[in-house]
Amino acid sequence: MLYLQLLLLKLGAKFVGVKLGILGLGTVGTGTVQLLQDWAGRHPLLQEIEIHRVGVRSLDKPRAVELSTEVLTTDLEAIVNDPAVDIVVEVMGGLEPARSLILKALSNGKHVVTANKAAIARFGAEIFTTANEAGVYVMIEASVGGGIPVIQPLKQSLSVNRIHTITGIVNGTTNYILTRMQTEGSNFSDVLADAQRLGYAEADPTADVEGLDAADKIAILASLGFGGRINLQDVYTEGIRQVSKTDIAYAEKLGFVIKLLAIAKRNTPSSPLSIRVHPTLVPQAHPLASINGVYNAILVEGEPIGQVMFFGPGAGAGATASAVTSDILNLVAVLKTNTAVANPLLACGHQEYCQIAPMAELTTRFYARFLTNDQPGVIGKLGTCFGNYGVSLESIVQTGFQGELAEIVVVTHDVREGNFRQALAEIRNLSAIESIPSLLRVL
């Protein structure tokens, strides 16, 4: 510590504490304050940080951390306008007033750390433009993968690579639900109810189970990996509500597990980006197949690095506080070294939007489950319809019945999604086809 102080004094830097204004003292805010207050054995720069103000909704709520009464306030505007605050840490969540407070803090020349993927995925363009104009940084390590370091690696350690694919299990709630459905053979709705009871799933699980949270996260990762802004509306998004225990059992028989994957892929630097979130059959030997429970993992593939996988706790007070505080520390280092020139490896300077390929152009394998009348020639007719559109089948199985109806499961070879959809439209018109209860993509 003394060495660091002497070094900074030698460099001419003025050695003063860095003041934080924290917006929110919930799960992540509390974890961050606890980490900052318990600095022994961690990085010495932590001692230079002062928790100056903390903004909350209610002053009457019991808190798990000790803070003096002058520190806690319900006036969050006052925090982002306070000239003494160097760094604003936004861990309140939601879209507004989080967006306006972040923008105000940046306009006031304060660096911002945020865990708010929803705000960054929607308002990133506005937020990063404001930051660049004000000459300050917005740090977002905790916005994807909780405690997993993946944002800084994409910005720095992997930045010389030509990234081909980012594939992630980036939502802990859905991974927990799918894992339990797999191991227990349970229904989606039963596991969701239990997960809510145990506190793993939120009371309103929409953003998680509909894939919206994962879409926010892959938009952020893709923007960093592929060097352009992503329009959130361009991210094709399917959740896990329609995944049934029947499909999970069939997938297992065929050598797969079902995971909610968030995928961004670009074949060449000039081709459009494919970006999507959907339940996917993952081969049991694939590294993402063994990521279970609330854990997250992100597999990055690029050239020349090959494959790198980041794995760890995707949520939780301590894990997320680790990411938030590492961002704070990076900014403290910036403030301490008085760097006048913006570091392009910390900033986000993309101006252009990535061109996104339509889903019809996606090439992937498909899994489809058909309920048909049990009559001769049905499999032949299915094969003919697929063949008419150049869809080649990898496997076709009929093992079960549901009442009077035969259950036929098909896995295709790689096929253009548009062709597969045309074949399905024709199949739907076959008199023997009762319904197509499931349609999933295969990795």
Q: Which is nearer to ligand NAP, 20 or 92 (CB)?
A: 92
316, interface contact from ligand NAP, ligand HSE, none, CB < 5-8 Å by kind? ligand NAP
User: Measuring CA to CA, how many Å separate 76 from each of 19, 25, 101?
Assistant: 15, 12, 8
The dihedral over CA atoms of 343, 344, 345, 349, expressed in degrees to the nearest 10, equals 140
Identify the residue among 21, 168, 279, 314 touching ligand HSE (CB under 6 A): 314
Check if the beta carbon of residue 187 is closer than 8 Å to that of residue 181: yes
383, interface contact from ligand NAP, ligand HSE, none, CB < 5-8 Å by kind? none
**Shortest separation between residue 327's beta carbon and ligand NAP, angstroms:** 12
280, interface contact from ligand HSE, ligand NAP, none, CB < 5-8 Å by kind? none
Instruction: Determine phi and psi for 10, rounding to 5 degrees.
Output: -65, -35
In whole angstroms, give the CA distance from residue 46 to residue 366.
50
**Shortest separation between residue 216's beta carbon and ligand HSE, angstroms:** 9
Using rule CB under 6 A, residue 222 touches ligand HSE: no
Q: Which is nearer to ligand HSE, 122 or 421 (CB)?
A: 122
In whole angstroms, give the CA distance from residue 187 to residue 358.
32
In whole angstroms, give the CA distance from residue 116 to residue 94.
7
57, interface contact from ligand HSE, ligand NAP, none, CB < 5-8 Å by kind? ligand NAP
**Shortest separation between residue 54's beta carbon and ligand NAP, angstroms:** 8
Spatial CB neighbours of 203, under 8 Å, sequence gap ≥ 6: 196
Q: What would you report as the CA-atom Rg of the chain, rounded to the nearest whole angstrom?
A: 25
Q: What share of the chain is helix, strand, coil (3-state, %, to 5)?
A: 40, 25, 35
Residue positions annotated with a catalytic role: 217
What character string, x for contact with ligand HSE (CB under 6 A) and - otherwise, covers 113-152? ---------------------------------x------
- Interface ranges with ligand NAP (CB under 6 A): 24-29, 55-58, 61, 76, 91-94, 97, 115-117, 142, 146, 315-316, 320
- Token pair belonging to 398: 């009929």
**Shortest separation between residue 29's beta carbon and ligand NAP, angstroms:** 5
What character string, x for contact with ligand HSE (CB under 6 A) and - otherwise, covers 196-215? ------------x----x--
In whole angstroms, give the CA distance from residue 150 to residue 144.
8
- Token pair belonging to 204: 């309103």
Using rule CB under 6 A, residue 315 touches ligand HSE: yes
Using rule CB under 6 A, residue 173 touches ligand HSE: yes
Question: Nearest-CA neighbor of 148 among 171, 125, 130?
Answer: 171
Instruction: Determine phi and psi for 395, rounding to 5 degrees.
Output: -155, 155
Identify the residue among 171, 326, 372, 438 touching ligand HSE (CB under 6 A): 171
- Token pair belonging to 68: 């003096």
Site of interaction with ligand HSE (CB under 6 A) = 146, 171-173, 208, 213, 314-315
